A and B are shown apart, each in its own frame.
Chain A
Amino acid sequence: MRRSRWAALIAVVAALVAVGVAYAVLNAQSKAAAAPAESATSAQLEEGRKLFLEGCSSCHGLNAEGIDGATVNNGGNGGPSLIGVGSASVHFQVSTGRMPLAGPAAQAPVKTVEYTAEETEALAAYIASLAPGPASPSEEELDFSEADVAEGGELFRTNCSQCHNFAGRGGALSDGAYAPSILDATPQQIYEAMLTGPQQMPVFSNESLTVEEKQAILAYVDDLRTAPNPAGQDLGSLGPVGDGLFAWLVGIVLFVAVAVWIGARVR
């Protein structure tokens, strides 16, 4: 039987349609898989978009694509793209008051929080909906009740203490940057900081520091925060410099006073 002249053309069109349909279905599935576990409602996304346009877009661009040019520090309004930074980064920056930025500074300082918890969630959900990125940790990931505090101490001293001090009090870096004290941060904020590496801080992804290791670190920081101090005053836990300064200032004054008394002429 002789094939129709159109048979080849119809076959090609049918194959193309089949591939297109399959791609659309699979693509939708993979998109769904990449969405955050607690899927954001459309109302939340809409609120987040509104808040973003009001409070963030002047530096980060109307579509969070970032603005090229001089940054706030140099008198401009340029800001980085937020595509793909994930909800963890947004929650960390906004819930600590670092964003929105108040003015030029070597790094964004912690200050009064501008947004409520719901508004922060909405902003984070909106940014996370633009492109997949590190998501805020779940309740289970933040639960450090079973974690090993001693192991957390080892991990903290190896990975964190060089900048944040062995007691979590923070310290100076170069060019005006500094590592802040982490004792006032919530476990979620500490987790998100490790996950996203804000500003000069390196990134500690869940591969370089596993979830269990992060939980151990959270447990250690909690221990630092709650441990009693038998001496009454820790003098900032800054190590020998602070302790020595106190000993010299107070101790030398006492010694001088006694020496003056011994040497004074008796009437």
Chain B
Amino acid sequence: MTDNSPTPQSSSAAETGTDVVARNQGHDIPGLPPHRPRQTDIDPRAAKRAERQVALMFLASALMTVLFVIAFVQIPTTDTWPVPFFNATINASNTALGVTFGLAIFFIGAGAIQWAKKLMPDKEVVQLRHPLKSTQQERDEAAEVFWDGADESGFGQRKIIRRSLLLAMGLFPIPLVVMLRDLAPGPLDLGVLKETLWEEGSRIVTDPLERPVRPADVPIGGVVSAMPANLTEVQHEEGNLNARAKAAIILVRMAPEDIQSQQGEGWDYQGILAFSKICTHVGCPIALYQQRTHHLLCPCHQSTFDLSDSGNVVFGPAARALPQLPITVDEEGFLIARSDFDQPVGPSFWERDR
């Protein structure tokens, strides 16, 4: 490999090939294998065959494009074809268009590769690599230029200039920080993260049909997905989806003697408990309620909350219990909230405990 074209700066013996062999612990670098001509290089009939193959592939691509156009015009979008072995049907138009278009582009690529592999020149070219490091002479010169500049500028001697420059450069980034901070939407409104639509007297309605809920509507062992009635007053432009994402709750009912603990005394109503539906891990909505164990399982990362025991985490990555909503009934006998949640719902955030 090193017998031709000596490296431009061969002053250092360590950078020549002979020493590379020595550095490889005595193993010889085998070099390139002997060049073997391809069948198409020695046999004109093989070359002719390869030529026909490539042409056939390009023609196949052209045929597929024609078939695509025919399929586009001829096959109604409602037609279906049976799928063998699967006892199913498949949309005829989609399938024909996809298959013809896909094969049209595939055969162009396949033909090009076959052409390059079999017919284009088969020369082996060696590209030598040189060390990335500059020569010691160049490095010394560069260092000399730098120190000359430093000396001539007087940076070392003229202290007042040096210090005032450092001060100016130290202060310069401040406007950048101010401008970047100014991109944030106003001062951070932590209330958005800490408050939900629930307030004292908010009526609990079913999700999605907005039926107010009477205690008798929730059977023991039952679960009801619910939201605050005033959610419907929040328009989409005002952030209805965000409000819904924070206020979603589930109601479950269990025999009062099954309730081991709650987050606040008497926050249930006759065994009906209301919990945030938003997982405290990363905020997935959870409603996989297993009525025998009173466990609520989050489908995203398998956090499991025991609703009979203050919504505490019994399994999985969630770090905090599900927030409980204190409830009671109003004069008309419908379930209402007694207040907002006493803690932020959903996943943790830096300012949560501030």
Contact surface of A with B, Cβ cutoff 8 Å = 151, 154-155, 158-159, 162-163, 171, 173-175, 177, 197, 199-205, 207-208, 210, 213, 228-233, 261-262, 266-267
Whether the Cβ atoms of A197 and B295 lie closer than 8 Å is no
Count of A-B residue pairs with CB < 8 Å: 102
Q: How far is the CA of A201 from the CA of B95 in the complex (A)?
A: 41
List 5 contacting pairs A-B, 8 Å CB cutoff, sorted by A. Answer: A174-B295, A175-B293, A197-B219, A202-B221, A204-B223
Q: How far is the CA of A261 from the CA of B106 in the complex (A)?
A: 14
Chain B residues near A262 (CB-CB < 8 A): 113, 117
Q: Whose C-beta in chain B lies nearest to the C-beta of A204?
A: B222
Cβ-defined partner of B86 (8 Å) among A154, A158, A171, A232: A232
Q: Whose C-beta in chain B lies nearest to the C-beta of A174?
A: B297
Whether the Cβ atoms of B297 and A202 lie closer than 8 Å is no
Known: A151-B209, A261-B113. A233 touches B88 (CB 8 A): yes
Whether the Cβ atoms of B291 and A203 lie closer than 8 Å is yes
Q: How far is the CA of A162 from the CA of B302 in the complex (A)?
A: 13
Chain B residues near A201 (CB-CB < 8 A): 291
Contact surface of B with A, Cβ cutoff 8 Å = 38-40, 80, 83, 86, 88-91, 94-95, 113, 117-118, 122, 206-209, 211, 213-214, 216-225, 252, 285-293, 295, 297, 299, 302, 304, 315
Whether the Cβ atoms of B315 and A232 lie closer than 8 Å is no
Max chain B CB contacts within 10 Å: which of A154, A229, A232? A232
Chain A residues near B222 (CB-CB < 8 A): 197, 202-205, 208
Whether the Cβ atoms of A266 and B118 lie closer than 8 Å is yes
Q: Lowest 8 CB-CB distances: which A-B pairs, in order?
A: A232-B90, A207-B217, A230-B91, A200-B290, A202-B223, A205-B219, A203-B222, A203-B221
Known: A207-B214, A228-B89, A267-B38. A163 touches B288 (CB 8 A): yes
Chain A's nearest CB lies how many Å from the CB of B326? 21
Q: How far is the CA of A158 from the CA of B33 in the complex (A)?
A: 67
Q: How far is the CA of A232 from the CA of B98 in the complex (A)?
A: 14
Whether the Cβ atoms of B208 and A230 lie closer than 8 Å is no
Q: Whose C-beta in chain A lies nearest to the C-beta of B220?
A: A203
Chain A residues near B89 (CB-CB < 8 A): 228-229, 232
Q: How far is the CA of A209 from the CA of B288 in the complex (A)?
A: 17
